[in-house]
Amino acid sequence: MIRLDHLSKHFRVTQPGCGVRGKLRRLIAPEHRLIRAVDDVTFDITPGEIVGYLGPNGAGKSTTIKLLTGVLLPTAGSVEVNGLVPFRQRTANAYNIGVVYGQRTQLWWDLPLADSFEVLGAMYRLPKARYRATLDMLVSLLEMQDILDQPVRKLSLGQRMKGDLVAALLHEPPLLYLDEPTIGLDVVAKDTVLQFLQALNAEKGTTILFTSHNLSDVERLCPRIVILDHGKVILDATRETILARFGQQRRLVVEFQGMVQRLDVPFGDIVQQEANKVWIAFNRDEVSAFDLIGALGQGAQAAGNGIKDISIEEPHIESIVGQIYQHGVPGAVEVSDARIDRG
Amino acid sequence: MPGSIVADVAAGALRPRMGRLSQAHTLLKLGLQTQLAYREELVSQWVSIAVEVIVFRQLWRALYGARESYAGVTLAQALTYITVTIVVTRFFSTWLVEDVNSQIRDGDIALALARPISYGYSWFLRVAGEALASLVLVSLPVAVVLGLVLKLPLPSSPVVWVAFVGSLVLGFLTSFYIDYLIALSAFWLTDVGGFYWSKGGIISILGGTYLPLWVFPPAVAQVLLWLPFRGICYTPVAIFIGEIAIGAQAVQALGLQLAWVLVLAWLSRRIFRAGVGKVVVQGG
């Protein structure tokens, strides 16, 4: 379905100088810097797969999607989508793919949703009957009958995201690219989107590439996860492998009423300590947060200190990437060429 | 065919579209709707045209003073010229430059390029829809009222009307391509705002919009006559008032308009390719 073979995209960026003198100097002798946005990336996606494409901001996720839509020309390597070369057959490729960008909308600001859909349907010259049937199906799946006559500018972010999903799927593409689709969504909206994508994949067999910088979004939806950093694939593994290694690692942040001198933690490790705040890393499988908090509360009371506030931090992709660089990944299906040198 | 848009229109007319949503029809409708979204402004648009017409007519009366005619153009013709010009300019003006410019600057063009429709053609249809809406809602009603109230002398020959409408269509295409070309410069310049502001002034002077070409010194007028800008508004309105006579003169004027449309279409296609090529290769 999708085949990336040693795909690279490098940009030459002109460095603006600093200050008036620097700027003038650069005007005469421009200085360039090479950015390896996507660097020797190889992986395949088979039809019907849902793949999570995970990486910190600037890792090259969006560039990959632009290469897949044919908007960018690869610097090296090759890319093939459903048998087509996207940058050469951009129009033909357009019929095969749907794209949703979390931070951009493809809907028209002043138009009611229904009209935006019609314009998009027309761009693909869809048969009217087919268009109606698809639209009805999508609208009822996403429960958005009530907002179809609303102009996009009056929609909430969650409603707009539903609209963008419909817009990307009207021409029934076998492939869907989602670029940070859950960004800024609340829990309920996120839930609807994830459930919808699951249903779409199950019923229509749509292949999905789901981009995010958030592990917890990806873990629910994607049986396979590809982690990207600095343009390189640093891990391509099943969800189970990744969660077993990183997903259980959570942090409990405890804020005490008074200063903390010495603290005995029965489980987990103290990873950071500041004045009256303590960060404790613990493994979800070994101890429940509830037990940990209970033990901490007793200890604090005995020492004449009380607990003021508690929160739990989910694992960040940054910390996971950091851990991969430090320790590698035991049991990973495949670490791309195992070349884990930064920059 | 040099102009991609011309080719697209032709192809769209030939392609079978039974039972399918039509690109042209729907995008024209989109332009119409975009205009209708601002229908609260209709009254203020009518009023502003009326005020502009009154002011410019008074100005021309004062300029003519006791004269019967100037450079072979009578006061009555000049008054009709300025009235029609104001009405026409109104529905020619669109948001194309801002819209395309911001799409290129903000990178939304990546979305537009992933659609199975040519970029220029989709914008042309939208802008045409906007112009159509503005013609029906603003220009036509105002023109009818002004024509009745001011007792504007109208051409009696149907040939003049046909030539006028044909020239108007070519004028619209010229205006579209010039705007589109300015907008495309955003591929190289970060902001074309300044460019855009000067464009209005330059075109209305070089194109003989408010100061018709016959008032320029003959040497200057001779140069301006060959530039594309006069094709936007001057040519159709001059045909309307009879300053460009039906016959060889009108054929030459229409031919020049058509030639410029083709040249601009070819140019915009080349520039679009170069610009997209830059984005595609360089990114950003």
Instruction: Please calculate the CA angle A172-B11-B31 and round it to the nearest 5 degrees.
Output: 70
What's the rounded Cα separation, in Å, for the pair A131 and A137? 10
Domain locations along chain A = 2-230, 248-316
What's the rounded Cα separation, in Å, for the pair A261 and A277? 11
On whether any CB of chain B is under 8 Å from the CB of A5, the answer is no
Q: Which CATH architecture has domain A248-316?
A: 2-Layer Sandwich (3.30)
pLDDT at A247 over 70: no
Does any domain span residue B12? no
* Closest residue by Cα to residue A26 from A10, A13, A39: A13
Within a 10 A sphere around the Cβ of A201, how many other Cβ atoms?
A: 17
Chain B residue closest to A86 (CA)? Answer: B114
What's the rounded Cα separation, in Å, for the pair B175 and B179? 6
DSSP string for residues in B187-207: GTSS--HHHHHHHHHHHHHHT
pLDDT tens digit string along B89-124? 888 887 888 888 888 887 788 888 888 888 998 899
Chain A contact probe: residue of B14, B18, B21, B124 with most A CBs at under 10 A:
B21
Q: Identify the domain containing residue B110 by its residue range.
A: 21-282
Contact A17, A24 (CB under 8 A): yes
Point out which residues pair with A33 in neighbouring strands: A13
What tokens were used for A211?
A: 């981009």
- B8/A95: higher pLDDT: A95
pLDDT at B37 over 80: no
Considering only residues 2 to 21 of chain B, which have any Cβ-Cβ distance to chain A shorter than 8 Å? Answer: 17, 19-21
Chain B contact probe: residue of A8, A111, A123 with most B CBs at under 10 A:
A123
Does any domain span residue B10? no
State residue A277's pLDDT score: 85
In Å, how far from its chain's centre is CA B112? 24
Q: How many domains does chain B have?
A: 1
Q: In what order do the strands lie in the sheet with A249-256?
A: A269-274, A277-283, A249-256, A307-313
State residue A108's pLDDT score: 86
What integer is the mean pLDDT of B214-235? 90
- Of B8-22, B26-40, B246-260, the poorest mean pLDDT is in B8-22
On whether any CB of chain B is under 8 Å from the CB of A97, the answer is yes
Residue B161: C-alpha distances to residues A65, B153, B165, B197, B208 (Å): 53, 13, 6, 33, 21
ipTM of the complex: 0.74
Q: In what order do the strands lie in the sheet with A175-179?
A: A97-101, A175-179, A207-212, A50-54, A224-229, A232-238
Point out which residues pair with A112 in neighbouring strands: A151
Contact A125, B23 (CB under 8 A): yes
Point out which residues pair with B73 in neighbouring strands: B70
Cβ-based contacts of A70 with chain B (< 8 Å): 113-114
* Closest residue by Cα to residue A225 from A247, A240, A244, A246: A240
What integer is the mean pLDDT of A286-299? 81
- A197-202: long-range pairs with CB below 8 Å, 24+: A197/A50, A197/A221, A199/A141, A200/A141, A200/A169, A200/A176, A201/A48, A201/A50
pLDDT at A281 over 50: yes
Cβ-based contacts of A66 with chain B (< 8 Å): 110, 283
Cβ-based contacts of B107 with chain A (< 8 Å): 104
Point out which residues pair with A177 in neighbouring strands: A99, A209
Q: DSSP H helical segments within chain B, as ranges?
A: 4-14, 23-36, 42-64, 75-92, 96-105, 109-113, 119-134, 140-149, 158-184, 193-206, 218-224, 234-241, 248-282
Please answer yes or no on whether B114 and A94 come within 8 Å at the CB atom.
Answer: yes
Q: Are strands A249-256 and A307-313 parallel, antiparallel or unpaired?
A: antiparallel
Topology of the domain comprising A2-230 = Rossmann fold (3.40.50)
On whether any CB of chain A is under 8 Å from the CB of B36, the answer is no
Q: What is the pTM of this model?
A: 0.78
Cβ-based contacts of A97 with chain B (< 8 Å): 114
Within a 10 A sphere around the Cβ of A293, how many other Cβ atoms?
A: 15
Please answer yes or no on whether A101 and B111 come within 8 Å at the CB atom.
Answer: yes
pLDDT at A83 over 60: yes
pLDDT tens digit string along B71-93? 888 999 899 999 999 998 888 88
State residue A337's pLDDT score: 41
* Closest residue by Cα to residue B34 from B136, B137, B138, B126: B126
What integer is the mean pLDDT of A43-69? 91
Q: Are strands A76-81 and A97-101 parallel, antiparallel or unpaired?
A: unpaired
Contact B238, B212 (CB under 8 A): yes
Torsion (CA) B230, B233, B237, B243 in degrees, nearest 10: -10
pLDDT tens digit string along A119-174? 899 989 899 999 999 999 999 989 899 999 998 999 998 899 999 999 999 999 99
What tokens were used for A274?
A: 């500041």
3-state DSSP assignment of residue A228: strand
Q: In the structure, what pLDDT confidence band is assigned to residue A338 with cuts at 50, 70 and 90?
A: very low
Q: What percentage of chain A has pLDDT greater than the value 70?
A: 92
State residue A67's pLDDT score: 92
Does any domain span residue B16? no
Please answer yes or no on whether B111 and A99 come within 8 Å at the CB atom.
Answer: yes
Residue A225: C-alpha distances to residues A2, A53, A54 (Å): 15, 6, 7
Q: In what order do the strands lie in the sheet with A76-81?
A: A31-45, A2-15, A76-81
